[in-house]
Chain A
Amino acid sequence: MNSAPPVIAFDNLTKRYRNFEAVHDLTLHIEAGSICGLLGPNGAGKTTAMKTLLGFLRPTSGSVTINGAPVTPQTFEYLSYVPETDALFGELTVTQHVELNRRSQPNHDQARADELLGIFGLDRRKRVRKLSKGQKTALALVLALASKPKVLVLDEPSSGLDPVFQRVVLDLLIDAASEGGTVLFSSHQVGQVERAADHVAIMRGGRLLIYNDVDSLKGHEKIIEATFAGAVPDLNGALRAETVRRVEQAGNMVRISVKRDDGEIPQRLAPYNPTSIRVVDRNLEDIFLDVVSEKS
């Protein structure tokens, strides 16, 4: 039993703007060394939750803590944040940004910054306004990682990056967690979360729908693929079960998403004489789409 407080804790957090509730009663605890991917459609409340965590917004009710304490300026000695929007200074060069980081961040590691600048191939003399969106994202990541933070909060960290650098970013996050760091990142790309995160939180309309570790989620949810020699017969009778989430048909194959595989559905399909029945783990994208559409 782990008695240490969670590194990142949202407790019954609600954030309301006048009549609009951006986050509703969010409770989410992220343990040390974990990478939590925060998924959700636009307007799900991901950015609001992160901004409240970092102190940009005041909670309407509930609380947010880092290592059991509210966020103070000293928290940012070991916490780095990569925002969704471009927050860098357009008139400053890459070198000046690194210098600014060195002056304002006591844990700044110049050798690490140089290494990361090399990895992303950033031209140090260029002004930020002349960088592409992906390069700006890369610079924000360099500045965030240069202080070797214990806690990383990233809002769409691979936004604008090409697939090669997206992979690099995910590897950096995995490296940070393997060294004991705790990572919370949001993304629209389910594949990225699936690759890097060990836990996933899915939000919609300001509410947390699911929070679990990725393997458990994928393990509990299965897809049964049944192929027929000819046209797919009418399976309505066989698929009337509580465990069935969704049925998709493509040609002579039917894909049935089920909450758990207890062997019931393959047994029910057997009388229809399929040429093959295959049970596979569901991917995170299927789970995300199901959860988001189901709860709506």
Chain B
Amino acid sequence: MYYVEVLYARSRLFWFSAVALVVAAIFTYFVTFPPPHAHVVNNGQDVPFDGVVAFAGFCAMIMASMLAATMNRDASHLPYMWTKPITRARIALMYIAVDIVTIVVAFAIILTICTLVLAIPPRNHVMFDEYSAAMVARSLAIPLMLFGVVEVATSWTPMRLAAAAGLVWPIGFAVEFLAEINLPFPLGQLFRALNVVNPMAYLPEIHVMHHVNISPSTALPFDFMSQTVMAFCITAIALVVAAYNWKRMQA
């Protein structure tokens, strides 16, 4: 049954890549042939790899939103999907695997496009630092966590809940905001607890002044690596629970 999800993911990946390429082409054109009187900053400066990776991760979050609620989206097809000699758990896991691969590929596409754009004269120098590997892990963890959280929220019912994939953005930012302001007991504690499973709370803080500085999210009481590990763990648990709920669903 994963064939259906492969076709769906392929189509979304095509449009995602097409838009990314068009934006990159426009950007490159204006950098290469700047309009008269325009002040182009792109003059061979150092560009931190962490910033590029963070941007790729943000784009991968968009792809994750396009794919999320995958099992709920196909709820109307259950009479067709569940009458094949394949266990429901296997169908669910195949769907999830296809979507995870697609999110990672989307991340890699953006990373590649950014690298190519930065290589166009006047060349920028991509700077690596000790956080680079950690940033790659974090930038992949957040879109996967977004995907997992939406899956677990929507996979338990045949009711149409696919809009959750879009709503997770404003809700996530709202929860993060409410967790950071000092709300009275028990609301403050509630939002801080909710923030642990809120993908938006895991976005690293990026400060762009004279140079790019990336620091762990202050919305969570853990260090950078712990936040990343937690994001992966929450993703894994969410997807296992989502697959179990979907398998047990009555339709």
Could you list which residues of chain A lie within 8 angstroms of chain B, going by C-beta atoms?
Answer: 51, 54-58, 73-77, 79-81, 83, 85-89, 91-92, 96, 99-100, 103-106, 140, 143
CB neighbours of A79 from chain B (8 A): 83
Could you list which residues of chain B lie within 8 angstroms of chain A, going by C-beta atoms?
Answer: 1, 3-4, 7-8, 11, 74, 76-80, 82-88, 250-251
Q: Would you give 13 A-B contacts (Cβ < 8 Å), ordered by A?
A: A54-B82, A56-B251, A74-B85, A76-B83, A77-B85, A81-B83, A83-B79, A86-B76, A91-B8, A92-B4, A99-B3, A103-B3, A104-B85
Closest A residue to B89 by beta carbon equals A73
B1 and A56 form a contact (CB under 8 A)? no
Closest A residue to B158 by beta carbon equals A56
A55 and B85 form a contact (CB under 8 A)? no
For the complex of A and B, 8 pairs with smallest distance between CB atoms = A83-B79, A87-B79, A87-B80, A104-B84, A81-B83, A77-B85, A76-B85, A73-B87
Asked, given contacts A56-B251, A58-B250, whether A88 binds B7 with beta carbons under 8 Å apart, the answer is: no
Q: State in angstroms the CA–CA spacing of A188 and B87 once bound together.
A: 33
Q: State in angstroms the CA–CA spacing of A75 and B87 once bound together.
A: 11
CB neighbours of B77 from chain A (8 A): 87-89
B1 and A100 form a contact (CB under 8 A)? yes
Closest B residue to A15 by beta carbon equals B250
CB neighbours of A96 from chain B (8 A): 7
B78 and A56 form a contact (CB under 8 A)? yes
Q: State in angstroms the CA–CA spacing of A51 and B251 once bound together.
A: 8
B3 and A100 form a contact (CB under 8 A)? yes
Q: State in angstroms the CA–CA spacing of A91 and B7 once bound together.
A: 9
Asked, given contacts A58-B250, A100-B4, whether A105 binds B76 with beta carbons under 8 Å apart, the answer is: no
Pick the most buried of A73, A77, A96: most chain B CB atoms within 10 A of its CB: A73
Closest A residue to B11 by beta carbon equals A91
A80 and B7 form a contact (CB under 8 A)? no
B78 and A87 form a contact (CB under 8 A)? yes
Closest B residue to A144 by beta carbon equals B83
Closest B residue to A100 by beta carbon equals B3
CB neighbours of A91 from chain B (8 A): 7-8, 11
CB neighbours of A57 from chain B (8 A): 250-251
Shortest distance between the CB of B80 and any CB in chain A (Å)? 4
Closest A residue to B77 by beta carbon equals A87
CB neighbours of A80 from chain B (8 A): 83
